[in-house]
Amino acid sequence: MPNRPTLMLSLFGSMALLGGCALPSSQQQEPPPPVTATQFEEGIQRLESNLAARCENQSHLLSLQRMEQRTLTADVREVGSLLRGMRGDIAALDDSKGKETTKIVTECQATDDRLANKELLGRSEWIGLPNVGTYLQARVDSGADTSSLSANDITSFERDGEDWVRFKLGLDDEDSVVESVRDSWLEAPVERRVRITQASGEESRPVIELLMTLGPIRETVEFTLTDRRQLDYPVLLGRRFLMDIAIIDVAEDFLHERPEFPRSSERVDDDASKAEDETS
């Protein structure tokens, strides 16, 4: 009878033979090729990129949530402040109702008194220059300090020891004017000069005084002489003219009629139609 070690050895040998018969060598699975250093590095980089993108996305979402939270907090505080203010206003309303009514009436009366002596002007108006003998269209602009008159061919000269200027009105073919004055030479003493700084450099402009009419207004006005032919109106009326005598309604145009001068009647119809077109 075989001994125990011999039986064990025979058993292991049989199992080895059976295992070899079960899977032929041609059908055995080959191990995968080893990973190269480049492939390993690329895999690590892809993993790092994916993780970084996820972290960045999470950070962005957290930032948006914080911003929304701050906005909501500010809105809640503002609403609370408004509610507290409304409560105070409602509480004070009953106590001061009679006093407030009296105050409003008083303020309205004071406002009416301040406006009683001022003429209402539109954003564009007809003006007259009696000493020149013509009418012109003017833009009324409280944003400008001084008034200006469009002029070209401005020439300085001296008369009786004083500075004078000779010029023509700077007009284009569309500007309304008494035709006999359109190309006439005009002369006036220089009251002062203003220095204008522009991108092209500094420029000294003469300032003259002319009698001007606008509706019931009849005033001597300072005009800076400058070429305004590239602008819509040959005359600009500024704050110095408006101060204490007029107020502007920017929703209106040509609230006052055009003044008339000798030899200007032949252009009345044309000028009136132009004024209507510009106001529409």
CATH number for the domain including 219? 2.40.70.10
Distances in whole angstroms, Cα of residue 230 to Cα of each of 73, 105, 120, 182, 275: 54, 48, 28, 17, 19
Burial 236-262 (b: 16+ CB within 10 A, else e): bbbeebbeeebebeeeebbbbebbebe
With bands split at pLDDT 50, 70 and 90, how would you rate the model's confidence at 132?
Answer: very high
2 is written with which tokens? 């075989």
Pairing, β 162-169 against β 119-122: unpaired
Does residue 248 surpass a pLDDT of 80?
yes
Q: What's the chain's average pLDDT?
A: 80
pLDDT for 170-192, tens place per residue?
999 999 999 999 999 999 999 99
pLDDT of residue 30: 73
In 3-state terms the chain splits into helix, strand, coil percentages (rounded to 5) of 45, 30, 25
Residue 52 covered by a domain? no
Does residue 31 surpass a pLDDT of 50?
yes
Residue 171 covered by a domain? yes
Percent of the chain with pLDDT over 70: 75
Residue 43 covered by a domain? no
Residue 216 covered by a domain? yes
With bands split at pLDDT 50, 70 and 90, how would you rate the model's confidence at 21?
Answer: very low
Q: Give the helix/strand (H/E) hosting 22.
A: helix 4-22
Does residue 3 surpass a pLDDT of 50?
yes
Does residue 37 surpass a pLDDT of 60?
yes
With bands split at pLDDT 50, 70 and 90, how would you rate the model's confidence at 272?
Answer: very low
Residue 210 covered by a domain? yes
Q: Which residues contact 258 (CB under 8 A, 6 or more apart)?
A: 126, 128, 135, 268, 271, 272, 275
Q: Give the mean model confidence (pLDDT) for residues 19-39.
A: 65
Residue 94 covered by a domain? no
pLDDT of residue 182: 94
Burial 73-90 (b: 16+ CB within 10 A, else e): eeeeeeeeeeeeeeeeee
Residue 77 covered by a domain? no
Q: Give the helix/strand (H/E) hosting 112.
A: helix 37-115
With bands split at pLDDT 50, 70 and 90, how would you rate the model's confidence at 41?
Answer: confident
Residue 136 covered by a domain? yes
Q: Give the mean model confidence (pLDDT) for residues 200-208.
A: 87
Contact 265, 180 (CB under 8 A): no
pLDDT of residue 84: 76
Query: What is the span of the domain harbouring residue 228?
Result: 119-279
Counted domains in the chain: 1
pLDDT for 209-220, tens place per residue?
999 999 999 999
Does residue 108 surpass a pLDDT of 80?
no
